[in-house]
Chain A
Amino acid sequence: MSVPIVRYKAELRKAIRRNAMEPEINFLNITAMLDIMTIILVFLLKTLGESTAAVPQSDDLRLPKSVITTEPPQDGVVVTVSKTQILVGDQRVVALPSRESMVQTGVGASFKRNGPSDLYVVPLGNALQAAGKTDKLIRAAKGLDSSSSDAVIIADETTPYRLLMEVIFTLGQSGFGKYNMMVIQSKQAPGNIN
């Protein structure tokens, strides 16, 4: 004969109590942390992508160091002078000769109208005028003075002055009233007099 059903139920309750486990945490709720991190990531990537301050450093393009602490410019046509080429925006306009040749004749006579001593670089001037038109439209839309454009020069630290002068001269001839030269802030700059 089996025991009464009441006894059986009591035994069952006791066994369930005995075997009951503590509620186990088998995953962390990291959704909130993930939200914050995603927002920071998107914000940083956006800031980095938008500013002209984002200059990748490589062997071909290494900015000079300076003690200056001014803010980098927010807009303007970007002219990049690396060791091997000149770019306007992302477009390559001139491939550069060797450094020795650049000291003598800058970009070389083939890119100029009146021989090697001319300072106006024709392909650079053409690209700058096209970029300048776009920049003026942007400036007008932003409500800024659109009579002249700003340029941002990103040049390698070894660029000889002869080449830099041709770039600056071509900028002036192409209707750019002001330019900013990008440098990297550093206390170890050679011109630091402190």
Chain B
Amino acid sequence: MDQPGQLSAAQRSRIRRLSQPKELNPDEEGGELNIVPFLDIVMNILIFVLATVAVTFTASIESTPPSLGGAGVRSDIKSEALNLTILIVNEGFSLKASGGNIATGCNGVGAGLAIPRNSGRYDYKALNECVQKLKGSNPEFADENQVTISPNPATPYSDIIAVIDAVRQTAQGEKLFDDVKFGVVR
């Protein structure tokens, strides 16, 4: 029996029931899609793309193909110019200018290989110093920026690119020979 002034059992149970916080139905919960797996995929692709981009910073070296007929390289420079040609041979670099073959050690005109290999490796630093010296030998050569590179048939592409890098500019960033032509050996 209920005590006077006390809530009845039925009333207490109704209070308990009605005072419970309302649970929302699943379809009433703001209508949000579960995009977390999608987000994972997007994040992964994004990181992958960013990583790939950072690795392959490419550049390009511009040149013109040999003229029709293959008689030689396109050359639009005057005859009194330096007309520098670098031959990449197995033993090192041989340099030829309009005056003749550059002697060993880059000392004037004479016989021999201008820059032999240094302890088995191509000496790009010496090549750079030599072309710098040749360009500085006459004020008329100051504007000349064309060089012909004639590698051996077996010379790998990476060595050719290294030579182009070495004759492009001085260590101080001054321009040397950045217009590269390739010699065609017939």
Residues of chain A whose beta carbon lies under 8 Å from any beta carbon of chain B: 1-3, 7-8, 11-12, 15-16, 18-21, 26-27, 30, 34, 37-38, 40-41, 44-45, 48, 53-55, 57, 63-73, 103-104, 117, 119, 152, 155-162, 164-165, 168-169, 171-173, 176-185, 189-194
B42's nearest neighbour on chain A, judged by CB, is A37
Given contacts A119-B70, A164-B157, contact A72 B60 (CB under 8 A): yes
Stretch at the interface among B3-11, B94-102, B105-113: B3-11
Q: Are B61 and A68 in contact (CB under 8 A)?
A: yes
Bound Cα distance from A186 to B79, whole angstroms:
37
Show 28 residue pairs from A and B whose CB-CB distance is below 8 angstroms, ordered by the A residue.
A1-B4, A2-B7, A2-B8, A3-B7, A8-B11, A11-B15, A19-B20, A19-B21, A27-B30, A30-B35, A41-B42, A41-B49, A64-B161, A68-B165, A68-B168, A157-B156, A159-B156, A159-B157, A161-B157, A162-B154, A171-B65, A173-B70, A177-B65, A178-B65, A190-B159, A190-B162, A191-B166, A193-B171
Of A20, A67, A157, which contacts B165 at CB under 8 A? A67
Q: Are A180 and B19 in contact (CB under 8 A)?
A: no
Of B32, B153, B161, B166, which contacts A181 at CB under 8 A? B161
Bound Cα distance from A185 to B88, whole angstroms:
23
Q: Are B57 and A168 in contact (CB under 8 A)?
A: no
Q: Are B165 and A169 in contact (CB under 8 A)?
A: no
Q: Are A155 and B157 in contact (CB under 8 A)?
A: yes
Of A57, A71, A191, which contacts B161 at CB under 8 A? A191
Q: Are A2 and B2 in contact (CB under 8 A)?
A: yes
Residues from chain A with Cβ under 8 Å of B161 in the complex: 64-66, 157, 181, 183, 189, 191
- Chain B nearest CB from A64 CB (Å) reads 4
- Chain B nearest CB from A84 CB (Å) reads 15
- 0 or 1 for each of B1-36: is its CB under 8 Å from A? (1 = yes): 010111110010011101111000000011010010
For the residues of A in contact with B, the DSSP-based class is: mixed
Q: How many residues of B contact A (CB 8 A)?
A: 70
Residues of chain B whose beta carbon lies under 8 Å from any beta carbon of chain A: 2, 4-8, 11, 14-16, 18-21, 29-30, 32, 35, 39, 42-43, 45-46, 49-50, 52-53, 55-68, 70, 88, 122, 124-125, 128, 151-166, 168, 170-171, 182, 184-186
Residues from chain B with Cβ under 8 Å of A12 in the complex: 14-15, 18-19
Q: Are B162 and A161 in contact (CB under 8 A)?
A: no
Given contacts A66-B164, A165-B182, A183-B161, contact A177 B56 (CB under 8 A): no
- Chain A nearest CB from B45 CB (Å) reads 6
A178's nearest neighbour on chain B, judged by CB, is B64
- Chain A nearest CB from B158 CB (Å) reads 4
Bound Cα distance from A108 to B20, whole angstroms:
87
Residues from chain B with Cβ under 8 Å of A54 in the complex: 56
